[in-house]
Amino acid sequence: MPTMPIEPALLADSPSWKLGFSLPQRYYIDESVFQQDLQILESGWILIDHGSRIPNIGDFFTFKIGNESIIIVRGRDGVINALYNVCRHRGSLVCLESEGSKKAFTCPYHAWTYDLTGALKAAALMQPDFNKDQYGLKRCHIREINGLIAICLSDEPPDLDPLVATLQPYLKLHGISRAKIAARRSYPTAANWKLLIENFGECYHCAPAHPTYASVHAKQKMLAIGAGFGSADEAITNEYLPEYEAWTAHSKSLGYPTGRNRSPIGSGRLTESVDGKPVSTLMGEFKEYDGGQTGMGLGSRTGTLLANNDYAVIFRFVPRSALFTDAEAIWLVDKDAREGIDYDVDSLIRVWDVTLREDKTITENNQLGVLSKSYQPGPYSRQEQALVRFTSWYATKMAEQANRKTG
């Protein structure tokens, strides 16, 4: 099985740290490291939500990361705009609500008023030669991909097109563009964002820490590809391949795209529910259940989509400080599915809601231990190969930043 190449990378200030070990303490606790982390994350695309959150003209929500607050608003042309929530007069936040619907945004300080594209429309008592055209809200890069909203705070966003092209067959298969939000839940977690990402990137902890999740997913599958292909040791993965390939052939015979980001839940289950039975109506191109699920990372490592046959979940991890991260899950169903008839929110969210509550607890305990003077980087297991790649990526990004500063 091909595995992703692992670049050798070291942290300049921690010469004894080796790839294959968790990070040195300061990378999980230090505020100055956290500021560098924000720069890394803000230079990439961030998956933030689904467009069905703001279906009508003027519907908006604000998204905050680091020092930035971004207004995400649907314009009169139906297109979603992403605007820096910073008044062009003297810099006040313009919009103080977290979501709602507006015809225009009026700054609470001196009442400069902006339209849904961010253009300045009114600025009372300014001098006659004041040119409103030069003082619109600054725009942030935004992409709407089959209904998924991603933003990038960099002036030069990385090219997202190759990834979008790769994901397109799967986004279509799961009908993500014609989905609606059925539920959202927050899991505010007192831990560094990297501990949440690491936790989400391995299934070594699934059996000991997630009894519900472990009762839903077949054991061998959890061991082999619990956090996706490449998350476990190659030998363990190879043992699972015959079962995986039999399922792939079945899914293919139903006419569905297959690939390493798709896998069966296992044990004859149709979807990721407590009893394996459907929890909503089929989505997208599914005509019958194949019992598979599809993982789709979109841009940054802080957002990912996991899609079953009848529902999908967006997982979002937004760093707030060195020791705090807002985790959020957004459950999607087909837009025509009726609450109380086709789906029941409690049943729909149960497996992941329980799992994410458990993740909050284990990650907070992880952070408490990492704060101890006795903490030192520990070795990743054969089941945590994705974390080797994550820390390698992270160390490389940190080195790039250091080079940029000195260069």
Residues that bind ligand FES (CB under 6 A): 87, 89-90, 92, 107, 109-112
Give the H/E segment covering residue 60: strand 59-65
Q: How far is the CB of 119 from ligand FES (least distance, A)?
A: 15
Residue with Cβ nearer Fe ion (169 or 230): 230
Q: Does 272 bind Fe ion (CB under 5 A)?
A: no
Is-contact 311 348, C-beta < 8 A? Answer: yes
DSSP string, 282-318: --TT-SS---EEEEEE-SSTTEEEEE-SS-EEEEEEE
Q: How far is the CB of 98 from Fe ion (least distance, A)?
A: 27
Give the H/E segment covering residue 48: strand 45-50
- Taking residue 103's Cβ as centre, other Cβ atoms within 10 Å add up to 11
Residue with Cβ nearer ligand FES (87 or 203): 87
Rg (CA), the chain: 22
Q: Does 198 bind Fe ion (CB under 5 A)?
A: no
Smallest CA-to-CA distance from 47 within 169, 183, 147, 130 is with 147
Residue with Cβ nearer ligand FES (111 or 246): 111
When CB distances are held under 5 to 8 angstroms depending on the partner's kind, the choice from ligand FES, Fe ion, none that residue 172 binds is: none
When CB distances are held under 5 to 8 angstroms depending on the partner's kind, the choice from ligand FES, Fe ion, none that residue 148 binds is: none
Within 348-377, the residues that bind Fe ion by CB under 5 A are 359
Three-state SS string over 323-376 comes to: CEEEEEEEEEEECCCCECCCECHHHHHHHHHHHHHHHHHHHHHHHHHHCCCCCC
When CB distances are held under 5 to 8 angstroms depending on the partner's kind, the choice from ligand FES, Fe ion, none that residue 359 binds is: Fe ion
Name the one residue in this structure whose structure tokens are 């994705």: 386
Q: How far is the CB of 103 from ligand FES (least distance, A)?
A: 18
Q: Does 384 bind Fe ion (CB under 5 A)?
A: no
Residue with Cβ nearer Fe ion (22 or 280): 22
Q: What tokens were used for 290?
A: 């194949």
When CB distances are held under 5 to 8 angstroms depending on the partner's kind, the choice from ligand FES, Fe ion, none that residue 204 binds is: none
What CA–CA distance (Å, rounded) separates 335 from 314? 16
Q: How far is the CB of 92 from ligand FES (least distance, A)?
A: 4
When CB distances are held under 5 to 8 angstroms depending on the partner's kind, the choice from ligand FES, Fe ion, none that residue 202 binds is: none
Q: Which CA distances in Å does 34 have to 43, 187, 356?
A: 14, 20, 23
Residue with Cβ nearer ligand FES (92 or 401): 92
Within 326-345, the residues that bind Fe ion by CB under 5 A are none
What residues line the site for Fe ion (CB under 5 A)? 359
